[in-house]
Amino acid sequence: MKNFEYARARSVDGAIQLSTSESRFLAGGIDLVGEMKEYIVSPNRVIDLKTIPDLDRIDTSSGTWKLGANVTIAEIAKNRQIIATLPGLAEAASEVGSPQIRNVATLGGNLAQHSRCWYYRHRDLRCLKRGGSTCYAREGENKYHSLFSGNPCISPAVSNLAVILAALDARVNVRRGDTEQNLTIGELYSDAWNNPLAHNSLQQGDLIVDVEIPTQKNRSTYLQVSEKSEFDWALVSCAAAGRNTGGHWADITVFLGAVAPTPYRVDSPLLEGSELSKDAIESIAESIASKATPLTHNGYKVPIAQALVRRALARIVT
């Protein structure tokens, strides 16, 4: 690993001031340290965010809850209020990695984590995402890759939390220099849809401060299929959320994870009705196949995505 300076931030302002064109923020370090060991990133300064007071707070005092960027994934999974009010969020957190990872990894780091594509993570390869000229996965081992992409890189976004936060209409507060950005999850990832070099829309020095989650959607769920039951990423994940008042549905949203460089919205006019029949759920799930562009080795993801959409919608409406 290349030598680097280590700096402890005491405030969000302090972290921004410490930031340089070659520095990186450190939260739990699960992703960043791995990348540094493999020389995928070699910052000149690492700025520890864990020393910033209050960034680990969960504020439930209003109808829109605020979770600080340093809240750990374990805390999200076990927090009683989250389990009761936003069950899909707790379910998504409890599926991340392993207990050891969840105890250390943070909300901010989970949203800002980089591609898990094995070509990107190989220290000796320089694929498109690392500034090279080739996507090795397109004609190579693409079993874990995207079914949908707006650019030649087919590495999917794998953050569990991004998928459920998209379904819950969460917004992310980001400090960019002296300004504050309030981004939807779609906006937080939109650059990755268009630009093979991007993992998300964060610019150098952007700091995720907290995430705002409206609690109006009183039903939510998160499901995933993985090869292993622990210590593994989702092959495909699915989050669904909606508001049920007196048996009438509103604002149902469904997102898929690990199939696109952003959480992928399952769009259908059938989601806009106030009732969701079994036939409607079936049509929504079926519609995914015609939009997907499977590669040599990842076509198996289509029926998994369809099954997860069926199960997630059945779970929230029953």
Ligand X SMILES: Cc1cc2nc3c(=O)[nH]c(=O)nc-3n(C[C@H](O)[C@H](O)[C@H](O)COP(=O)(O)OP(=O)(O)OC[C@H]3O[C@@H](n4cnc5c(N)ncnc54)[C@H](O)[C@@H]3O)c2cc1C
* Contacts to ligand SF4 by CB under 6 A: 115, 117, 119-120, 127-129, 135-137, 145, 153-155, 196
Tokens of 234: 């989702």
Pick from ligand SF4, ligand X, none: which does 233 bind, CB < 5 to 8 A by kind? ligand X
CA angle 184, 188, 192 (to 5 degrees): 140
Pick from ligand SF4, ligand X, none: which does 26 bind, CB < 5 to 8 A by kind? ligand X
**Nearer to ligand SF4 (CB atom), residue 28 or residue 196:** 196
Phi, psi dihedral angles at 295 (to 5 degrees): -105, -170
Question: Which residues make up the interface to ligand X (CB under 6 A)?
Answer: 24-32, 49, 69, 95-97, 101, 104-106, 108-110, 112-114, 158-160, 202, 207-208, 231, 233-234
Measured from the CB of residue 305, what is the shortest distance to ligand SF4 in angstroms? 19
Question: At what angle are helices 185-194 and 160-167 packed, to 10 degrees?
Answer: 120
Pick from ligand X, ligand SF4, none: which does 30 bind, CB < 5 to 8 A by kind? ligand X
Give which of 101, 133, 135, 95 is closest to 115, Cα–Cα.
Answer: 135
H/E segment holding residue 175? strand 171-176
Measured from the CB of residue 192, what is the shortest distance to ligand SF4 in angstroms? 10
- CA dist 304 and 113 (Å) reads 24
Residue nearest to ligand X (CB): 109
Measured from the CB of residue 314, what is the shortest distance to ligand SF4 in angstroms? 33
- CA dist 83 and 212 (Å) reads 17
Measured from the CB of residue 244, what is the shortest distance to ligand X in angstroms? 28
Pick from ligand X, ligand SF4, none: which does 136 bind, CB < 5 to 8 A by kind? ligand SF4
Rounded to a whole number, what is the distance in angstroms from the first to the last CA of the chain? 52
Measured from the CB of residue 36, what is the shortest distance to ligand SF4 in angstroms? 18
Answer whether 165's CB lies under 8 Å from 185's CB.
Answer: yes
